Structure 1
Amino acid sequence: MGTVQEELVYIGFEGCYVLINWKAGQQNSVTQAGSSSKITVVAMSNEAESSLPFYVEGKVVTGFQRGSKALGFPTANFDDNAVATMPVSMDNGVYFGWVNINNGPVYKMLVSIGWNPYFKNEKKSMEVHILNKFKEDFYGSQIKAVIIGYLRPMLDFNSIDELRKAIADDLEKVVDLLEEPESAVFKDDKYFTAEKES
């Protein structure tokens, strides 16, 4: 059982402050003061939060081939060696941050980490949706990412349309969150231009 904590939390994409009681690692619905609307707050475990920002580098590999075809959101998949570097303390879920390919321009990203419950994945994956349109595939390319924030846990959905809507909502939130000064500073991190250590 997590420790109960009381905390004033700023929900950036909701534009409000809420006072909540929460247990680390659990999802809690709270009511904004003066409003009847519910806001879902997901609290990471202390261990998971301490893992961020997380820097990861690898190769782009062929994934499940459903990001573009089934969902309409193409993804770049990290190789197994990169996935294996994830700290065991990091919760499975949807995160956000910054990414580049072959030391090129740095883009906003949404990244899904874990076993996608809707598709019943048997293998843990790290799938990145880059907020940029590329003219061609870049399988085999070097990919670097800095994961800086946690958005929500992995969820199951009743239909693929529900999943598409959830991803679209995630992307809308991430665009705003990455414009915040404390997030935007990572775009210029020297990590993105440094050569890989041998």
Structure 2
Amino acid sequence: MQIWHGLDHVPADLGATAVTLGNFDGVHRGHQAVLERMVSDAHDRGLMAVAVTFDPHPKAVHDPAHQPVLITGLADKLDRLAATGLDATLVVPYTLEFASQTPQEFVRRWLVDGLHASRLVVGTDTKFGRGNAGDVDTLRALGGAHGFAVDVVDDACAISESGRRWSSTWVRELLDDGKLVEAADVLGRPHRLRGTVVHGDKLGRQIGFPTANLEVTGGMIPRHGVYAGWLTVLEAGPSESATAVGAPMPAAISVGFNYTVGVEGLRIEGYVIDGAALDLYGAEVTFDLVQWRRPMLDFGSLDALIDGLASDVAWCRTVLQVD
């Protein structure tokens, strides 16, 4: 999938396209169903399938004092969008100036002149332009004037087996409750945290459980506690982590505060099972969280902490089916 950060990156020889718009936070199964249907229809018509998304999230610009909690960072969102078969995604740098455009200005500059839209795929509740003045009826009128068709997608393909509508709000609720298995069902994959491995307090190494401390750059922090999951090195740091790039490694992952040893601040750490010799400092990694085990606890002593961690690792082996 091609990624265009602004109209300046769109190829000059771009042909006719089918375009859809959205924030696509989490790229959950509802998003996937709509996007995959749009891609199939676009390709049947000989059109390039393009998504338009925004960075930062519009709420972060309009109300900076109350930053939105996003399920995925931009890098992972783009990876998930690519998996739907899209040919390209245009990442619009969202600013107050951008938001001040009228619906007519937005459609003409970005969709017609910028992306050569032949078809536009939108939801029934689509709003756009200054003050959210534009809606589906506005698009239909503008489509008639500029020569593009408007396909309005209903909710039929966005309803889960339980009858609840797939939504980013649902995912956030599940992550807050530590229901990672259920969240993975809505997302279509395990929830992911992405970041860089940084130096920690090195206590884990001293007690036999060396951990990779993650400085998170993307992904919603879920309920605090211990998780079974997978650690994957995306890009090696200055250490010896190059040998581990690309292969998911089973891990016991903790999210929260280390009460037993009184370490201050939130810690997100992954202990790679059977990977004691790994040196991951400076590497870009992901934590894919599979299942929640327990809350963070004060074990009262280092010996009790060590026993607790050993039990956690044994449980993670079972969950992840590691011999």
TM-score strictly above 0.5: yes
1:72 aligns with 2:72: no
- The residue that corresponds to 1:56 in the other structure is 193
What displacement does 1:112 show? 0.7
CA deviations over 1:89-130 (Å, ceiling 9, x no partner): x22110111111234221111011011111223210101001
1:137 aligns with 2:284: no
Cα 1:80–1:120 change in 2 (3 A) is farther
Q: Which structure: larger Rg?
A: 2
Q: Supply the distance in 2 between the matched residues of 1:91 and 1:80 (Cα, whole angstroms).
A: 15
Q: Gapped runs of 5+ residues in structure 2?
A: 1-172, 185-189, 235-244
Aligned length: 131
1:86-125 alignment runs, 5 A limit: 86-87=220-221, 90-102=222-234, 103-125=245-267
Instruction: Please give the secondary structure, in 1, of the residue aligned with 2:227.
Output: strand
> What value does the CA root-mean-square deviation take over the aligned residues?
2.1
- The residue that corresponds to 2:311 in the other structure is 169
Instruction: Please give the secondary structure, in 1, of the residue aligned with 2:217.
Output: helix
Cα 1:134–1:159 change in 2 (3 A) is closer
Q: Which has the higher helix share?
A: 2
What displacement does 1:131 show? 1.1
Cα 1:172–1:134 change in 2 (3 A) is closer
> What percentage of residue pairs aligned between the two structures are identical?
30
What displacement does 1:161 show? 0.4
Q: Normalising to structure 2: TM-score of the pair?
A: 0.38
Aligned partners of 1:107 and 1:132 also within 8 Å:
no
Higher mean Cα deviation, 128-137 or 111-120?
A: 128-137
Question: Higher relative contact order at CA 8 Å, sep ≥6: structure 1 or structure 2?
Answer: 1
Q: Supply the distance in 2 between the matched residues of 1:126 and 1:164 (Cα, whole angstroms).
A: 18
**Ranges of 4+ aligned residues in structure 1 off by more than 4 Å:** none
CA deviations over 1:8-41 (Å, ceiling 9, x no partner): xxxxxxxxxxxxxxxxxxxxxxxxxxxxxxxxxx
Q: Supply the distance in 2 between the matched residues of 1:151 and 1:113 (Cα, whole angstroms).
A: 11
Instruction: Please give the secondary structure, in 2, of the residue aligned with 1:143.
Output: strand
CA deviations over 1:47-69 (Å, ceiling 9, x no partner): 42255531111111001111111
Q: Supply the distance in 1 between the matched residues of 2:313 and 2:216 (Cα, whole angstroms).
A: 25
Code of the aligned partner of 2:201: F
What displacement does 1:137 show? 1.7
